[in-house]
Structure 1
Amino acid sequence: MSNISLNTITHPLEPLTAEELAVTIAILKRDQGINENFRFASVNLYEPVKSKVLKYEQGQSFEREAFCILLDSKSGYTYEAVVSITQDRVISWEHIPGVQPSIMADEFMECQNVVKSDEQMIEAFHRRGLIDIDKIMVDPWSAGNFGHHEEENLRIVRALCYYRPEPEDNLYAYPISGLHALVDLNAMKVMKVIDNEIVPLPPTHGNYTADAVGTIRNDLKPLEIVQPEGPSFTVEGHEIQWQKWKVRFGFTSREGLVLHTVSYADQGKERPVLYRASLSEMVVPYGDPSEPVNRNNAFDSGEYGIGMLANPLELGCDCLGEIRYFDAHFADSQGNVIQINNAVCLHEEDFGIGWKHTDWRTGHVEVRRSRRLVLSSISTVGNYEYGFFWYFYQDGSMQFEVKLTGILHTEAIQPDTRYPYGNLIAPQLFAAHHQHFFNVRLDLMIDGVNNSVYEVDTLQMEKGPDNPYSNGFYAASTLLEKDSDTGRDLDLRSARSWKFVNPSQKNHVGDAVGYKLVAGENAFPFAHDDSPLMKRAGFLKHHLWVTPFDPDEMYASGKYPNQHAGEQHLEQWAQAGRNIADTDIVVWYNMGHHHITRSEDWPVMPTAYISFMLKPAGFFDRSPALDVPPSLSKKGHCSSHSSGPHCS
């Protein structure tokens, strides 16, 4: 048995602690003879099976296991291991042929050093007048899979280069276009240099610090958010209780934030809504058909790892108010335990009016302010920042929002040149149009494990005597019975939505209890269906898919999307014809941000927002926000007669 203390681990879904990570790595090194050729691609909690978690009661003993992906850089082989921390042994060790793990953080810096020391690249830099190699910066981009035979069975990235005149300069203002390299990460050497025309560096900097901007607004007064009595939430380990919500969360190296066992207290009992929810995959395809941007189709979650790239958050900058932070622990590729301080932020926010009504006959006003709980993290993936926010509302609604900011991917172009697949954002500086797609996996548990999905369309009534003024409409619901019935799209003309119900649980008017998905911004990809991108990301063809629960189907792009040709992902799984009615199901929702670039996005892009909501639809017998207490204005309660105190 391991000497590790499990007394402080209060639930089977608690993330691995730093101590558990260290023990896991030590067991692998001891039992499997792990040497310096091996890299640890990921080490995360091996989540117990759902049935055991749902039966767990506080105080019961449970196993602690880790799921590990390792790469032997000498042979190029990938291995999966399950390690029992409780039993101090390796439970399984399996070679997974023909796959590449995600690109690891230290491979980025090693790749940069290799490119900057390669003689052919140095000569190419010198031909462009770039003599000081220390000022060259390299962004390794995933290679994808485009059928190039010379890349088969190799672990490669594309190395795109930039120039940074001074340490504080924005390197993306000076892309070295016409030159890039392919790097073999296992051999850690440049395998191919692509040296095309010499393009001059753009003439203007893109610096964005306060000093670089110059005059800063001086009329912005302080805004303080204070909670003198502390926050309204309580936390035990990674379980949060707030305003009838109970939310457990985790944090993995690939997905980042993960929600577990989300429930809402109603009529004296905890009613489950979700078993698990997470970002399954991110795909960022570019519309530039020219080399090398035509291969920019990043799978940011599966190829890099959102959790591993999480930012340490700072009070007053990333979060405001009465904050509770949580650290994240991972293993780096060498097996060292690393800690990301303040990787997760928890706080409350005022969110305006929750509900209000003024009785114009009596002048009586009732108003309640809305407050929401915010659970968030932010990751930097190369030039872009992504903020991931889960919101919980007092009316039983949930929202997932992504905030996109950071710096555009840039290209230097010849003077007096324009292209239709992007825009000039500064003189001789080009930014290609692109898209950001986010696939969210929702393991539903609406008042129980067995759920169904209805597609709801609003239809016009036929003209006739029952519709004398031709203005009638109604909502029609269609049950999705097989996974092959899914691959469904939003439709503005029918105001389409999807409702998730538990057919065995009825509300007080006899309808099945449920939640509905309320979509926000969305888009379709513009790549052709037979393109290399869509062969790997066919799940982007539709906005919503439904599959029966399968613990092996965790990621829309498959377990190993890096350099994979595209087999074994959500589009294939959803063609099996499996039952999805009144059973344990998973909903996969895609939302897409369509980015036509503009000069206002430079040098740092103002935050763009994309989200969806889960709103109760027959889940409660009445509004669950009725019992939210009235807020206090400076003069008294926010509920009174119109001549008295009120606030909005």
Structure 2
Amino acid sequence: MHVNRITRARTRAAVGLSVAALAAGATTGAGPAAAQPKAAVAAAAECSADYRIEQQLAGGTTWRMCWRYDNKAGLVLENISYQPKGEAQPIKVLNSARLGQIHVPYDDGKQEFDDLTGYNFAQGLMNLAPGECPGGTIRTVKVPDLWTSQNPNVKGLCTTTRSRGHAYRMQGDAANKVYQAQGTDLLVYTANQVGWYEYMTEWRFQDDGTVNMNVGATGSLSYEDYDAGDGRGWPIGKGAKSKATSHSHNVFWRLDFALDGSSKNTVEQYDSTVTAPVRGQQAPTTSTTRTKVTKELAADTKNYRWWRVVSATGKNKDGHARSYEIVPGVTTKYPGRSFTKRDLYFTQYNNCELFASNNPGGCNGTSVDKWVNGQTLTHPVTWMNVGFHHIARDEDQQPMPIHWQGFSIAPRDVTAMNPLTPADLAWQNGEWDPRS
């Protein structure tokens, strides 16, 4: 960026962003043919080619989706479908997926921000240089509600592919036979500047059907937050000089599932209890119970607890209901506000319930915790809260290394076998003897 830090909007109290930061030139990175968008099949043609993402990965899996750019949430992905090899049609997974809020309270109690709805997160979309999108394509985004003197067209959306290492490895019956494959992901990401921070919003769509959602904070620490005089800062200068004020990043995601094309999904919670062995038993026993979540829920992650969103209409080739399991990430839960006291919310769909805090939609209450009021779940919306308590360190300067927070959703019975199963093992669907 061609930005002089003296003239840049340095604090969160500023409402403007640098014209140069948003209009700095960058060229589209020309990627290989595999990374270019391709025409979608009719089942996934809910948007024009300019707003369509389609990628077939090396293992044979194809992901399809539409994208748009919201004036507060930033990047929104819609009509997301997954088609592994062996499936004749795309399997719809989500109506929409996007950020629900980035809430940033400071430890000294003097500052607190809702970056999406209160601090122009979307308008801070940054131009990406070709080297930031290796092997991929940088798309031009028309950013809504930019100040009239600024260019709303930002080369700010990267779509590319990336290896993630082993997808699986298994020693075969013969000593010289090893089944292994390297996994690949479709990556979709943007960079948004808010004050001194830059947020990388990353979506990873794996060839095995898993989706990883991450936000990475980078950029730099604001020098106007230095020298916290009440002990709530960490010195990053010589001796006790320049104490950077500690703060939290509480990131919310909002997922609207539509498994098999229907929004009438159900939610299930699973809890397991481990009991010490009694006489005659060699090991402890574990019992797992399922609870159907029929009404709105504010929930917390717990050892031996997990949730899944279940299709109301579709089953895999084994006759099992398709579902996606919610896999929480590492979190530091912030207890200072009612909406950050819980890890996960399931709310009944309401088109004005869009942001987990400081929601401008005119709903009954302005935060997600207020929307859990006993409604029956016929169209559940999933909200995940992942927190990070940032106590600065010397290594945070300069620039600040990126620190990530996020979670995943993993397919559970979406396909009858591992979607990457090699052909000569395809017979082993619950079988150990190919003659049976």
TM-score range, shorter chain: 0.7 to 0.9
- Aligned pairs for 1:357-396 within 5 A: 357-359=170-172, 361-396=174-209
Is 1:449 aligned to 2:263, yes or no? yes
C-alpha contact 2:215 2:406 (8 A) present in aligned 1: yes
C-alpha contact 2:30 2:137 (8 A) present in aligned 1: no
The equivalent of 1:592 in structure 2 is 387
Q: 1:295 aligns with which of 110, 126, 130?
A: 110
Q: Any gaps of 5 or more consecutive residues in structure 1? A: 1-133, 143-156, 160-224, 289-293, 528-533, 630-648
Is 1:234 aligned to 2:31, yes or no? no
Is 1:601 aligned to 2:396, yes or no? yes
The equivalent of 1:551 in structure 2 is 351
Q: Distance in 2 between matches of 1:319 and 1:253?
A: 23
Q: Distance in 1 between matches of 2:366 and 2:182?
A: 47
Q: Distance in 2 between matches of 1:388 and 1:628?
A: 36
The equivalent of 2:368 in structure 1 is 570
Q: 1:420 aligns with which of 220, 231, 242?
A: 231
Q: Relative to 1, partners in 2 of residues 1:252 and 1:337: Cα closer, same or farther, differing over 3 Å?
A: farther
Question: Displacement, 1:333?
Answer: 5.8
The equivalent of 1:405 in structure 2 is 218
C-alpha contact 1:387 1:403 (8 A) present in aligned 2: yes
Question: Displacement, 1:476?
Answer: 2.6
User: Highest relative contact order (Cα 8 Å, sep 6+), 1 or 2?
Assistant: 2
- Aligned pairs for 1:103-118 within 5 A: none
The equivalent of 1:93 in structure 2 is none
Residues 576-595 of structure 1 show CA distances to partners (whole Å, capped at 9, x for unaligned) of x1001xx2111111111121
The equivalent of 2:417 in structure 1 is 622
Question: Displacement, 1:381?
Answer: 0.6
Residues 603-646 of structure 1 show CA distances to partners (whole Å, capped at 9, x for unaligned) of 322111112111101121111122699xxxxxxxxxxxxxxxxx
Residues 526-571 of structure 1 show CA distances to partners (whole Å, capped at 9, x for unaligned) of 42xxxxxx2xxx321101111111111112224339xx9x943211
Q: Relative to 1, partners in 2 of residues 1:499 and 1:412: Cα closer, same or farther, differing over 3 Å?
A: closer
Question: Displacement, 1:457?
Answer: 2.3
The equivalent of 2:341 in structure 1 is 541
Residues 255-296 of structure 1 show CA distances to partners (whole Å, capped at 9, x for unaligned) of 1110100011252122110001110111011112xxxxx332
Q: 1:258 aligns with which of 73, 76, 79?
A: 76
Is 1:141 aligned to 2:16, yes or no? no
C-alpha contact 2:130 2:138 (8 A) present in aligned 1: no
C-alpha contact 1:446 1:502 (8 A) present in aligned 2: yes
TM-score by length of 2: 0.81
Q: Which secondary structure does the structure 1 equivalent of 2:151 belong to?
A: strand
Q: Distance in 2 between matches of 1:557 and 1:413?
A: 29
Q: Distance in 2 between matches of 1:283 and 1:446?
A: 30
Q: Distance in 2 between matches of 1:295 and 1:344?
A: 34
Q: Distance in 2 between matches of 1:628 and 1:398?
A: 25
Q: Relative to 1, partners in 2 of residues 1:331 and 1:370: Cα closer, same or farther, differing over 3 Å?
A: closer
Code of the aligned partner of 2:359: K
Q: Relative to 1, partners in 2 of residues 1:136 and 1:619: Cα closer, same or farther, differing over 3 Å?
A: closer
Q: Distance in 2 between matches of 1:311 and 1:137?
A: 14
The equivalent of 2:88 in structure 1 is 268
Is 1:579 aligned to 2:379, yes or no? no
Q: Relative to 1, partners in 2 of residues 1:352 and 1:232: Cα closer, same or farther, differing over 3 Å?
A: farther
- Aligned pairs for 1:36-435 within 5 A: 139-142=10-13, 230-231=34-35, 233-234=37-38, 236-243=49-56, 244-265=62-83, 267-288=87-108, 294-316=109-131, 318-321=132-135, 323-332=136-145, 335=148, 338-359=151-172, 361-410=174-223, 411-413=225-227, 419-427=230-238, 428-435=241-248
Question: Displacement, 1:383?
Answer: 0.9
Q: Distance in 2 between matches of 1:381 and 1:628?
A: 49
The equivalent of 1:65 in structure 2 is none
Code of the aligned partner of 1:445: A
Question: Displacement, 1:402?
Answer: 1.1
Q: Which secondary structure does the structure 1 equivalent of 2:249 belong to?
A: strand
Residues 50-102 of structure 1 show CA distances to partners (whole Å, capped at 9, x for unaligned) of xxxxxxxxxxxxxxxxxxxxxxxxxxxxxxxxxxxxxxxxxxxxxxxxxxxxx
Q: Which secondary structure does the structure 1 equivalent of 2:122 belong to?
A: coil
Q: Relative to 1, partners in 2 of residues 1:502 and 1:413: Cα closer, same or farther, differing over 3 Å?
A: closer
C-alpha contact 1:300 1:306 (8 A) present in aligned 2: yes
Q: Any gaps of 5 or more consecutive residues in structure 2? A: 17-28, 40-48, 57-61, 425-436
Q: Relative to 1, partners in 2 of residues 1:368 and 1:295: Cα closer, same or farther, differing over 3 Å?
A: same
C-alpha contact 2:71 2:144 (8 A) present in aligned 1: no
Q: Distance in 2 between matches of 1:334 and 1:320?
A: 31
C-alpha contact 2:64 2:81 (8 A) present in aligned 1: yes
The equivalent of 2:333 in structure 1 is 524
Give the share of equivalent positions with the same residue, in percent.
24
Q: What is the root-mean-square deviation of aligned Cα atoms in Å? A: 2.9
> What is the aligned residue count?
387
Q: Distance in 2 between matches of 1:337 and 1:454?
A: 48
Q: Distance in 1 between matches of 2:78 and 2:54?
A: 13
Q: Distance in 1 between matches of 2:415 and 2:301?
A: 26
Q: Which secondary structure does the structure 2 equivalent of 1:141 belong to?
A: coil
C-alpha contact 1:254 1:304 (8 A) present in aligned 2: no
Code of the aligned partner of 1:248: C
Question: Displacement, 1:386?
Answer: 0.6
Q: Distance in 2 between matches of 1:361 and 1:525?
A: 52
Q: Relative to 1, partners in 2 of residues 1:361 and 1:281: Cα closer, same or farther, differing over 3 Å?
A: same
Question: Displacement, 1:135?
Answer: 6.3
Is 1:514 aligned to 2:323, yes or no? yes
C-alpha contact 2:9 2:195 (8 A) present in aligned 1: no
